[in-house]
Amino acid sequence: MSDYTDLTGTERSFGDAEAEQAVRQNDRQYVFHSWSAQGAIDPLPVAKGEGVRFWDYAGTEYLDFSSQLVNLNLGHQHPGLVQAIQEQAGRLATIQPAVANDVRGELAKRIVEHSFTGARSVFFTNGGADANEYAVRMARQHTGRQKVLARYRSYHGSTATAITMTGEPRRWANGVIDANVVHFEGPYAYRSAFHAESPEQETERALAHLERTIQFEGPETIAAIVLETVTGTNGVLVPPPGYLPGVRELCDRHGILLICDEVMVGFGRIGEWFAYQAFDVRPDLVTFAKGVNSGYVPIGGVVISEDIHRTFEQRPFPGGLTYSGHPLACATGVATFDIFEREGILERVRDLGSRVVEPRLAEMAAKHPSIGEYRGRGLFWALDLVKDRETREPLIPFNASGEAAAPFTAVVNACKAAGLWPFAAGNRLQIAPPLIISEADLVTGLDIIDAALDVADGYT
Ligand code: PLP
């Protein structure tokens, strides 16, 4: 029996050094990688994936607790998604956006039906960053204002306005591409910028800070506030009670639009179709990508309110993309809705999060001094690792790399050596497995993290 099939269709077995070398060779010779010094990386050659696992060429198995950049919500090779691509490719592989297409319309309809009251239509993009670009462009066109407010500790993508809105070091070397972006601090009670002593106080002070920012910038110049509903890569920061309704109230008071970036948390990650649905807030524009089809074919988009849609009823919207609403991507999006309903994904995520993950993390926090705080919801959690629980000094300094990051790297390596691929960011081990994960696999992964934290404890 073969272990995997190579790109020529040949059946291969794990441990075939020649096959592995060929993959490595082409990658190192010809592929230019994201966010990396090309000479300093040695990417893992992956032979195949199945469900919540993937394998390298040696046959080493990894339980995926990262969902491949928090993307692969339905896991590798989901039969329903593979079939949707095959069937759609047989019917109509591609068609330009200016025509009406059955599967594109069906996906837009399903998304609108599962969105906020007053949602009207969907503009499809190629991914998350351009969804944010287009949401901002719509907000500017609709309001006639230019500024956008975005938060520190955020990632919104790597294109022009999206990278400028990003509030963390990935922006630095790219400079300011969009001069009309202003940053502010969001709530993060564990490391409060506002010296708050309770979540309620954090909400109150974070909102007062936002209001001051609006006043200093001039409310009539601000088109939109853009925020990740639950901050993703920068720490799984769940908004404290009242914060998002408070932001909405400020938006309403000043004629500012609210854009929720749901690229990472939309489509089930915290157990809701969209994360804003858990926080009693109505956005004007919502951006999505990743989970809409588990990344099987690139797609993202913007959900648009009736009010904003109406602005472009008679006036042309100045923007578009060749691949907008690509049929192969839309077919997998429609299949995603069917699979979520058939497999009860949202209910599973809520159940596993509250019944399995949360109590287990509480148990770990009681025994590992390196856990400063654990936080999250559904199947999206972060362990904020510290050197000192009293002072809350992070396990490694902010933006550390190389030697300075060694304690955290050691924890990540301990996870990998035990067969778990974690989602590691800054000083945080983040937990984001595919949403189809079984309870047994979830517990296995948590056991591995528990054991790896002994390594972190050694640095406290
Ligand atoms: N917004 C958020 C919250 C994200 O997490 C990401 C990517 O991780 C993006 C936007 C950018 O998406 P993409 O990489 O598809 O452009």
Q: Which atom of ligand 1 is nearest to the CA of 228?
A: 3
Radius of gyration of the chain (CA): 22
pTM over 0.95: yes
Q: What is the pLDDT of residue 279?
A: 98
Q: What is the pLDDT of residue 103?
A: 98
Q: Report whether pLDDT(281) > 80.
A: yes
The phi, psi pair for 283, rounded to 5°, reads -80, 170
Structure tokens belonging to residue 124: 């499809």
CB 423 within 8 A of CB 68: no
Average pLDDT of the residues of the chain: 97
Q: Read off the pLDDT of each residue in 52-60 and give the average, rounded to a whole number.
A: 97
Q: Is 262 in the pocket of ligand 1 (CB under 6 A)?
A: no
Pocket test residue of 158, 263, 294 for ligand 1, highest count of atoms within 8 A of CB: 263
Q: Is 88 in the pocket of ligand 1 (CB under 6 A)?
A: no
Distance of CA 167 from the midpoint of ligand 1 (Å): 13
Q: Which amino acid is present at 297? A: V
Distance of CA 287 from the midpoint of ligand 1 (Å): 10
Residue of minimum CA distance from atom 1 in ligand 1: 156
CB 128 within 8 A of CB 145: no
CB 177 within 8 A of CB 160: yes
Model confidence pLDDT, tens digit, residues 176-229:
999 999 999 999 999 999 999 999 999 999 999 999 999 999 999 999 999 999
Q: Is 380 in the pocket of ligand 1 (CB under 6 A)?
A: no
Q: What is the pLDDT of residue 434?
A: 98
Distance of CA 405 from the midpoint of ligand 1 (Å): 24
Q: Report whether pLDDT(423) > 80.
A: yes
Q: Is 426 in the pocket of ligand 1 (CB under 6 A)?
A: no
Q: Is 423 in the pocket of ligand 1 (CB under 6 A)?
A: no
Q: What is the pLDDT of residue 1?
A: 75
Model confidence pLDDT, tens digit, residues 102-137:
999 999 999 999 999 999 999 999 999 999 999 999
Structure tokens belonging to residue 115: 């969105």
Distance of CA 223 from the midpoint of ligand 1 (Å): 21
Model confidence pLDDT, tens digit, residues 361-396:
999 999 999 999 999 999 999 999 999 999 999 999
Q: Is 127 in the pocket of ligand 1 (CB under 6 A)?
A: yes
Q: Which atom of ligand 1 is nearest to the CA of 158?
A: 16
Q: Is 264 in the pocket of ligand 1 (CB under 6 A)?
A: yes
Pocket test residue of 226, 290, 296, 302 for ligand 1, highest count of atoms within 8 A of CB: 290
Q: Report whether pLDDT(330) > 80.
A: yes
Model confidence pLDDT, tens digit, residues 26-42:
999 999 999 999 999 99
Distance of CA 73 from the midpoint of ligand 1 (Å): 15
Pocket test residue of 70, 130, 155 for ligand 1, highest count of atoms within 8 A of CB: 155
Residue of minimum CA distance from atom 12 in ligand 1: 128
In this prediction, residue 71 has a pLDDT band, given cuts at 50, 70 and 90, of very high
